[in-house]
A and B are shown apart, each in its own frame.
Chain A
Amino acid sequence: MCDQTFLAITFGPCDSCSENRPLMNLYIKTEPINYCSLCMEIMACQGLASGETLKSLKAESETLRKKLEEERKKLHDVELEKVAEKAEALGELNMKTRRTLKGHGNKVLCMDWCKDKRRIVSSSQEHAVTMPTTWVMACAYAPSGCAIACGGLDNKCSVYPLSLDKDENLAAKKKSVAMHTNYLSGCTFTNSDMQILTSSGDGTSALWDVESGQLLQSFHGHSADVLTLDLAPSETGNTFVSGGSDKKANVWDLRSGQNVQSFDTHDSDINCVKYYPSGDAFASASDDSTCRLFDLRADREVSIYSKDSIMFGAASVDFSLSGRLLFAGYNDYTINVWDVLKGTRVAILFGHENRVSSLRVSPDGTAFCSGSWDNTLRVRQEGRGVGRELKQGGTTLYG
């Protein structure tokens, strides 16, 4: 299990203020202490002690970084390509578009699948009745399938309960849940309909209780906009990863708000992060036209998926069910399919007439859907043998 967070004590009396709060597991020179987030902040903002200067702190930072690098280097004994030699090669993949959904009047910005594997919610930049703002940059389907959450330039995340009545005015039952100080870039429900995790352009992510709109936990650590987030699929489900425009991808503990791991090898904004199906790794797509795979247990980047002929930024990624294939949508209107283990490109898919802004694989892995700024969504599948290509406007569109 990659996340060691479940073994740590995360709630109890803080060592410094003795109040019962969610605890962060920190170390002062190898001595473990349990501080609540408030005490940690106080400790960080304390005035400079005698003998400490900004320079000495920075020097300490450098030594720690070097030490960390050394430690990680010791554990790095093999490359992914070597280990992947054992895996058999993939056959030729023949992807075809099975559905083209044309319902939006403007760019499709975001989409999400329902757990029933058939329905999709998608959001776009248009003057719809329900949203008071144009750019709706994040949308998510609730695990039960009974509600959707969306948000964007209005700085809020609102939950809309769905109903069987098609004509019902969804805007009437809207519930504002999250309130950020700047645009909302990503949102997702946790394992139930009652909690939402959001990321915002103000550099923070937050966990909210839907019913009361209460802020349960906030996560500070990015020095620029947080553009994307993904919840871990692991059995303990206590962590999530967020990527920002400060080129870093951070892993957070949901309970205490602590930043447990950080990866900053990208050269540009990280547009999308997605966990590997086993929960032990995650992939990120960035404006530097590469997608990278980061190993959480070994705490390092293990693979870069890039090609000289791909020069435009990647906007979104997702894994197939087994984790062998990585689908990535780019700003040059194409979708590239990578072999995760071998690091090679398996296929390139055309068809969209503008940037591919979002891409998700369905919950059971039977197909993937890509939404683009050309106002359409395309559902694609592997097309060996049986079946014909059928293009029709779909009715499975909400939002």
Chain B
Amino acid sequence: MTIRTLRDYGQHYRPRMACLKNVEVFVVEMQDPKSGVKGADQKLNVTIIPHVINGQDVLAWIVTKMKVTTEEAQAFGTMLVAYGYIYPLQNHRKLVLVPDSTLYRFQTPYFWPVQKWPAEDIDYAIYLARRNIRKKGMLEPYEQQHYDNLHKWMNPKWDFIVMQATEQYKANKERKKPDRVVLDCQERAYWIVHRPPRRTHSAMDYGLDRLIDPNAEEVLTFDVVRRTNIFLTQALMRSAVKSSVSLTAFVKFVTTHHNHDPFLTTPVPSNPWITDSDEFWQLNSRSVDIPTKLSVERWVLSFWELISDPRGRVDFKLFLKKEHSAENMAFYEAAEEMRWGAASAIPEKSQFIFNTFLKPGAPRWINIDGRTMGLTVKGLVVPHRYVLDAAQTHIFLLMKKDTFYRYLKSPVHKDMQKRALVPAPHVFTDAQLEANVRNRNPGISPILQWQQEEEEKAAAAVAARPIDVKAMVATNKLDRK
């Protein structure tokens, strides 16, 4: 069988089948008479079918050609069968590559998935009708189902279908028997792939169609080009960094985080998914008294790591309290809340923040430079989501570049480093593991946890409110008699 050079149909027919281009090149190589898989003639029910290959040979050929393991070759081979490039001769409904003497044949390029796309219902109806005539009404159950369905909704065209079917049946009779058998096998294989029986999946299933045809030439009107130009001018003015700098940063990131990655270093005490014991999660939770050594090491890596870990943030806030600069963190958190919060809450939050942090003489006044303060206060007249951005960035950088380093040198942190736990790795016996499995539970519901956190936050807010001296005098609490 000669196979002419294939057209480059990259994305012309089915955008998601772009990958099949490579598969088809591969299949062509497989059929090369000299270096491909060796086929032979096989006698099947009186007729002799040419070019039959067996599963084992196919697998061996894939392994040698692609230099992969048997398992992978097996998976790839099954893909080839599932897409219809190779079809099994005997158990025609099971589209898997079985690595033994099961017989297969290469599908003719006419029936390759991308060539005749999409498989039209009318063609299928004609095929079934023809089969019906041939088998004198004895179709396989799944075929019968499809047939009934098509008959129902293609009723108006049915005369045409039957006429076509009879014509093709008569034309088929003129052919020689071996050719007829081969053609029949090929067509049947094609339809198994495109119209699989119920409850089996077809590899042709690609999900949803894209809305916009990616192959359609983009109509470049002048505004589209203008926009591209605007983008390119802006891109040119952006400063980029040397590859060596940014790539070294990646390697550094990976190396420093190596010990924290559960896929690379076994977590202590044990990975909850393996041993079913949630001690690992409990030791790293937000409310634990003493954190693990690994967590503490992670906090040292960068300021962002410190405040992203809830337990770390708690520690940092403790340090800030000792330094009497807790208002910085409180402001940062309040600004974050406003930025990511609901639009309706913005006016109220901005008012609160202004009164608490920015107003001259405010109880928790933050120390930012005059210009930023001026800009922020002016912006607060008509508050919007990002009005505190400048101030927030200033405070964040202050904490990151100054407070963080003082935290690392502080006794609070050093003490924590000493006290941090190094939990011993779990060694469970089989019986204990089984007990763990039985005791599996989903843990506290996140809803409950969130409610707890909200309550804690409210309590902290109340505690942080400045003491109103007048009110206390009014209630005579300060009266020292």
Where the two chains meet, the residues of A that have a C-beta atom closer than 8 Å to any C-beta of B are: 4, 6, 10-11, 20, 22, 25-30, 32, 40, 43-46, 48, 52, 54, 57-58, 60-61, 64-65, 67-68, 71-72, 75-80, 83-84, 86-87, 90, 93, 98-99, 114-119, 135, 137, 144-146, 153, 162-164, 182-183, 190-192, 194-195, 201-203, 209-212, 214, 216, 221, 223-225, 234-236, 245-247, 255, 258-262, 267-269, 276-278, 280-281, 287-289, 295, 297-300, 302, 308-309, 311-313, 320-325, 331-334, 340-341, 348, 350, 354, 364-367, 373-374, 379, 381-388, 390, 392, 395-396
Contact = CB atoms under 8 A, between A and B. Distances in A.
A6 B393 contact: yes
Contacts of B284: 364
Nearest to B437: A390
B343 A212 contact: yes
Interface in B6-38: 10-11, 15-16, 18-19, 22-23, 26
Interface in B237-272: 237-251, 253-255, 257-258, 260-264, 266-267, 270-272
Contacts of A64: 229, 232-233, 236
Given A57-B226, A287-B18, A388-B433, A146 B450 contact: yes
Contacts of A115: 446
B18 A313 contact: yes
Interface of B is mostly: helix
B208 interface: yes
Contacts of A383: 274
B343 A93 contact: no
Contacts of A387: 270-271, 274-275, 433
Interface in B176-216: 201, 205, 208, 210-214
Given A4-B239, A201-B211, A211-B343, A78 B244 contact: yes
B225 interface: yes
Interface in B384-411: 384-387, 389, 393, 396, 400
Interface residues on B, range: 35 or more
A281 B249 CA distance: 11
Contacts of A209: 342-343
Nearest to A191: B340
A216 B385 CA distance: 10
Contacts of A312: 19, 23, 79
Contacts of B428: 386
B274 A322 contact: no
B222 interface: yes
Interface of B: 10-11, 15-16, 18-19, 22-23, 26, 66-68, 71-72, 75-76, 79, 201, 205, 208, 210-214, 218, 220-223, 225-251, 253-255, 257-258, 260-264, 266-267, 270-276, 280-281, 284, 303-304, 336-337, 340-344, 379, 382, 384-387, 389, 393, 396, 400, 426-428, 430, 433, 437, 442-450
Contact of B23 (A22, A145, A288, A311): A311
Given A40-B230, A54-B225, A190-B340, A277 B244 contact: no
23 contacts: A4-B239, A29-B233, A30-B237, A54-B221, A83-B244, A115-B446, A116-B444, A146-B450, A194-B342, A201-B210, A210-B342, A221-B231, A224-B213, A245-B212, A246-B212, A246-B214, A260-B238, A287-B19, A295-B250, A320-B264, A321-B257, A366-B271, A387-B433
